[in-house]
């Protein structure tokens, strides 16, 4: 069974996102970009299936500009067998990515797509769900455990206040949560080997997919600065302030 892992190139999670001066988006110029952390977890899950003999091939896919090749090389260094870049300069929204992934699924025929539960830049949490709907496949989101069976998978999901275990039929789309695994680091020899692994470049046009944005981004702004708090001396003072200043009791 082939496993497809979509990986997104995002602003590194250690870098504080700031709006561009004209509020038209998030400033990315000159800043470190990395693989979306949830996609590293997805890649790790796929590689473990390959190592365990449950997957035959792991294919990493990224949609976006040419610079995404760097993210795909990281995926190859982590253990993906080959990579596909769907190259475009158009700003991609989740529906467009889901349509591109659907076209790649038709080409590659994987038995499982493991994606991140959300990209930490747009926080959309939509692509996996849209993909499974477009394909008519089973889906299990926020996975903290995936156990593959014969044509089925048991997926434990992180839900409010607990865990839920689903049995789903394959093929399926599963999205990863933080506790699924701890991704490995790429070793230097594997980074060198990754340079020789196949990385194919396609375009949305060659896949026959319309990626025109459906939503218009109006502006990106910092949240209002929080006012500093104060320390009260005792409970009596707290009650007095809540009653007479905040007027909430
Ligand atoms: P989102 O719906 O944008 O929060 O993204 C959820 C997941 O979809 C990510 O963790 C990735 O696995 C995948 N994804 C989103 N955008 C892209 C992209 N441009 N290229 C490849 N995978 C993507």
Tokens of 59: 């294919």
Cα-based angle 175, 181, 183 (whole degrees, multiple of 5): 100
Domain spans of the chain, in order of start: 2-244
Residue 83 three-state SS? strand
CA 204 to ligand 1 center in whole angstroms? 16
For ligand 1, whether the C-beta of 43 sits within 6 Å is no
Q: Is the CB of 99 under 6 A from ligand 1?
A: no
Alpha helices in 127-247 (DSSP H): 127-135, 188-194, 235-244
247 CA to centre of ligand 1 in angstroms? 45
Determine the Cα–Cα distance for residues 150 and 153; give it in Å rounded to an integer. Answer: 8
Q: Is the dihedral of CA 141, 178, 124, 112 positive or negative?
A: negative
Residue 95 beta carbon below 6 angstroms from any ligand 1 atom: no
Q: Ligand 1: does its nearest atom lie under 6 Å from the Cβ of 152?
A: no
Q: Compute the distance between CA of residue 170 and CA of residue 168 in angstroms, rounded to an integer.
A: 7
pLDDT tens for the chain, 249 residues: list them.
Answer: 999 999 999 999 999 999 999 999 999 999 999 999 999 999 999 999 999 999 999 999 999 999 999 999 999 999 999 999 999 999 999 999 999 999 999 999 999 999 999 999 999 999 999 999 999 999 999 999 999 999 999 999 999 989 999 999 999 999 999 999 999 999 999 999 999 999 999 999 999 999 999 999 999 999 888 888 889 999 999 999 999 998 998
Domain 2-244 has CATH 3.30.2350.10: no
- Beta strands in 65-183, from DSSP E residues, in sequence order: 82-87, 112-116, 138-148, 152-159, 162-169, 172-176
- Check pocket membership of 6 for ligand 1, CB cut-off 6 A: yes
For the entire predicted model, the pTM comes to: 0.92
The answer, yes or no, to whether the previous bond of 217 is cis (omega within 30 of 0) is no
Specify whether the CB–CB gap between 190 and 80 falls below 8 A.
Answer: no
CA of 233 from ligand 1 middle (Å) equals 49
CB distance 122 to ligand 1 below 6 Å: yes
| Ligand 1 atom nearest to CA at 6 | 22
CA angle in degrees (0–180, nearest 5) for 59-164-110: 20
pLDDT of residue 229: 87
Query: What is the whole-number distance in angstroms between the Cα of residue 239 and the centre of ligand 1?
Result: 48
Phi first, then psi, for residue 173 (nearest 5°) are: -115, 125
In this structure, the number of other CB atoms found within 10 A of the CB of residue 83 comes to: 26
Farthest CA pair distance, the chain: 71
8: CA distance to ligand 1 center in Å? 5
């Amino acid at each position: 069974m082939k496993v497809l892992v979509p990986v997104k190139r995002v602003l590194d999670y250690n870098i504080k996102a700031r709006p561009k001066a004209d509020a038209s988006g998030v400033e990315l110029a000159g800043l470190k970009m990395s693989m979306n952390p949830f996609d590293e977890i997805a890649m790790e899950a796929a590689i473990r299936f390959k190592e365990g003999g449950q997957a035959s091939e792991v294919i990493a896919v990224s949609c976006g500009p040419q610079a995404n090749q760097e993210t795909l090389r990281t995926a190859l260094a982590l253990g993906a067998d080959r990579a596909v870049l769907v190259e475009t300069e158009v700003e991609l929204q989740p529906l467009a990515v889901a349509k591109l992934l659907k076209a790649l699924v038709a080409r590659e025929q994987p038995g499982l797509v493991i994606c991140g539960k959300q990209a930490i830049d747009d926080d959309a949490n939509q692509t996996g769900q849209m993909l499974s709907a477009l394909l008519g496949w089973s889906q299990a989101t926020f996975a903290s455990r995936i156990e593959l069976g014969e044509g089925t998978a048991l997926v434990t999901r992180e839900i409010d206040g607990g865990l839920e275990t689903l049995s789903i039929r394959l093929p399926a789309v599963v999205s990863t949560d933080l506790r699924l695994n701890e991704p490995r680091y790429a070793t230097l020899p594997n980074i060198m080997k990754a340079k020789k692994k196949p990385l194919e470049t396609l375009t949305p046009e060659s896949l026959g997919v319309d990626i025109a944005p459906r939503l218009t981004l109006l502006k990106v702004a910092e949240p209002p600065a929080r006012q500093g708090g104060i320390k009260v001396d005792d409970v009596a003072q707290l009650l007095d302030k809540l009653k007479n200043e905040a007027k909430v009791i």
